[in-house]
Amino acid sequence: MEVEEMGTFKQLKGKLVEPGFIPDGVTDPLYFLNEQTKSRTPLTPILIMLQAVAAVLSGFAVVALLLYMKCPYILQDLMHARKMLQTKNQLARFQKKRPYFTLLDRFLELAQTQPAKPFVVFEGEVFTYGDGDLRSNQVARALRRHAGLREGDTVALLLGNQPGLVWLSLGLQKLGCAAAMLHYGSRSTAWLRCLVRSRATVLVVDAGVRAAVEEVMPTLLQQGVLMMTVPLIQQESEQPVSPQLRAQVNASSPAAYFYTSGTTGLPKASLSTEARAWMIAHSLSTAGVRPQDVVYIPLPLYHASGFQIGLGGAIERGITVVLKRKFSASQFWHDCRKYNVTVILYIGEILRYLCNTPKGADDRLHGVRMAVGNGLRADVWRVFLQRFGKVDIKEFYGASDGNVGLFNYPGRIGAIGKVNFYHKRTAPYVLVQFDAEREELVRDSRGLCVQVPTGETGLLVSEITTSAPFWGYLNDLEQTEKKKVRDVVKKGDVYLNSGDLMKIDKDGFIFFQDRVGDTFRWKGENVATTEVADIFTMLDSVVDANVYGVQLPGHEGRAGMATLMLKDGETLDCTETFVHISNYLPSFAWPLFIRIQNDLELTGTFKQVKYKLVKEGFDPHTVQDPLFVLDPRRRMYTPLTLDMYESICLGELVMIVKVLYLEEDVQRRTLDSGVGPELRGHRLVGGLLDLLTETLYPLRGTVITEDEHTDALLEQGGHHLLHRRPQI
């Protein structure tokens, strides 16, 4: 190329700069310096394009690195958001179908496409999807023939875990009816109140609760409730019922009612619509459960976790369920190996019980790859993984009466959920300041709630919207309104009070801190403080009672404690008090400690003050009032001494707080773990389930003899526990 010059013999650079090194604008040969070979390499269009692409990719890599450093969970966030969007789109398609495509329709679809695939495995017996269809036809026909059920009716179910409960729920759906899931382990007075509130016209029971039903039969007759049994249902035809019987079912139709103690402590029926049932059923697929998995359900089906996540999720996935009548720590891993279980459902207590069983050489010899559940403490989480191997723990948070669910999809140990940009947009929630002493929300000068900063504890409230509705409690407008919080973020908005204190760390992980209000969680159950207090005030010597939960070293949840105000001149009758509460309350609701005060402190609005009582707990060094502790061995409360208190705190006394789920068929088992040498080898008669637990015996120095305890408990009325279900 000749160098172009101006008239003054200077080089012209303007024309050279404009085309640069783009081959399309330059006809002369182009080269670039290859720094590796120290030579000139011809510059071609392809080479220029590759260099440009490399530069763009390098830029993207830098941006991605910076984004990862700032948001290390961005990929998992995006994947979870994608799953949620897929679920939302699928449910929208179902809603557009006419008639509405329900979870029952999904089951019927599976009964046609995979009729021979095992659906429910129960105590060695296998029921296929085809079997489930035929048996639920029997249910629908029996209920229609004998009870005259019509679409929109409600039927109360009082059954333990068994295939019959599954067929009943499906049969009711075939009639367009809702199931009220009564707590199988509760006293008759408790479930009767729930039944009346549901306005159910039919009660279906099994033989295990016949005696309890007979106690309240006059009330059932007065309410016009028809009682039916499972054997009666099994006599009907297996022919299908007409889909026209449920033709009006839509997304907002009631699918089931689940009972919760709620913030007032009284049982309330929480509505689960057809749309909500679908949403919850997707929990397993969101967690990563595959169609070839086998799910183990040791949770009671009268709880939403067992029924909607477990059973409903299995139908959504088209998988096999291994249903357990009741949880058994000794049989858990045996069942998992026997039935090739790959996914287990849990609550935190279940995994803790498993960790407390004697170690074995086969602890890791199982096919379980995933555990889905809630309430798992961080320390138990770590021990479980160390002992039983790499099981993918999928912890979630939710409530049967809530409108938001949280999911710990990255698997951070101890977290119940993770903030997700898409989820928070579709179901907004915030943590707000809560005054524990006054038991009320903190508000600013504008009357709005004060949100807590990252890392601080606040009350979880979730906005009530069309995409995150709150259906309220059945036939209980007062408690429905009490659950709502107004003017949270802006004037006029309405949020739902979860009653749970949480905190969010800098990475967006959500951690459960505590429970507020009038309930506390113990042994995997919500204990209703108002209900327990009402039982105490039935005693002639008690003027008033304040019930709350206190922390117990080394145990999840809170143990029950009651502060009582007695009539002038009265003293606590330790034996009568125990007999009274044991007659009216399930074992998980028995207060472990009692405190006696002359007057109970009230707020300006006449509400009982719990904060100070909870803070002081059962420490005799702090509390000058008389303190008592539950001693089920003698079936009474006994004065709490300083030595007892120190032993409890040091773990040197075995408290009644750890239930041993013994075999229901009265098999014998050996106490061989976590006790002193004096106890090893001694056997206990099984079946006492609740009362024959760890009591106030020292770990060392006391020999437990089989006959002494069994005879004493049966003689004092413990025989009724042989037929009770454990409180999971």
- The pLDDT of residue 706 is 33
- The pLDDT of residue 232 is 66
- Average pLDDT for residues 413-417, to the nearest whole number? 95
- The pLDDT of residue 631 is 87
Give the distance from CA 278 to its chain's centroid: 17
- The pLDDT of residue 32 is 59
Nearest Cα to Cα of residue 564 among 628, 630, 636, 657: 628
pLDDT in tens, 97-136: 989 999 999 999 999 999 999 999 999 999 999 999 999 9
Distance in angstroms (rounded) separating the CA atoms of residues 158 and 140: 17
Burial class from Cβ neighbours inside 10 Å (0-12, 13-18, 19+) for residue 665 reads exposed
Q: Percent of the chain, pLDDT > 70? A: 77
What is the pLDDT confidence band of residue 282, given thresholds at 50, 70 and 90? very high
Nearest Cα to Cα of residue 435 among 391, 526, 518, 501: 501
Contact yes or no for 21/13 (Cβ under 8 A): no
**Which amino acid, 168?**
L
Helix (H) or strand (E) holding 190, with range, is: helix 188-198
- Average pLDDT for residues 608-625, to the nearest whole number? 89
Summary mean pLDDT of the chain: 82
**Which amino acid, 527?**
V
Is the pLDDT confidence value at 654 over 90? no
Is the pLDDT confidence value at 720 over 60? no
Residues in the chain: 728
pLDDT in tens, 563-608: 999 998 999 999 999 999 988 888 888 999 999 999 888 754 456 7
- Average pLDDT for residues 138-166, to the nearest whole number? 93
Is the pLDDT confidence value at 48 over 90? no
In the structure encoding, which two tokens stand for residue 116, read together? 């021979």
What is the pLDDT confidence band of residue 656, given thresholds at 50, 70 and 90? very low
The DSSP code for 449 is: B
- Average pLDDT for residues 464-481, to the nearest whole number? 91
Is the pLDDT confidence value at 650 over 60? yes
C-beta neighbour count of 612 within 10 angstroms: 10
- Average pLDDT for residues 609-638, to the nearest whole number? 90
Contact yes or no for 450/442 (Cβ under 8 A): yes
- The pLDDT of residue 298 is 95
In the structure encoding, which two tokens stand for residue 344, read together? 């287990």
Distance in angstroms (rounded) separating the CA atoms of residues 132 and 566: 56
Nearest Cα to Cα of residue 497 among 277, 264, 308: 264
Domains, in order of start, for the chain: 14-66 (no CATH), 102-277 (3.40.50.12780), 282-401 (3.40.50.980), 518-650 (3.30.300.30), 659-728 (no CATH)
Distance in angstroms (rounded) separating the CA atoms of residues 490 and 124: 57
- The pLDDT of residue 322 is 98
- List of E strands, 231-359: 254-260, 268-273, 294-297, 320-323, 343-347
- The pLDDT of residue 558 is 86
Helix 74-96 and helix 274-281: axis angle, to 10°? Answer: 150
Q: pTM for the complete prediction? A: 0.74
What is the pLDDT confidence band of residue 419, given thresholds at 50, 70 and 90? very high
CA angle 691, 693, 698 (to 5 degrees): 130
pLDDT in tens, 663-695: 322 232 333 333 333 333 333 322 222 332 333
- The pLDDT of residue 502 is 93
Burial class from Cβ neighbours inside 10 Å (0-12, 13-18, 19+) for residue 605 reads exposed
The DSSP result for 257-280, as a single string, is EEEE-TTTSS-EEEEEEHHHHHHH
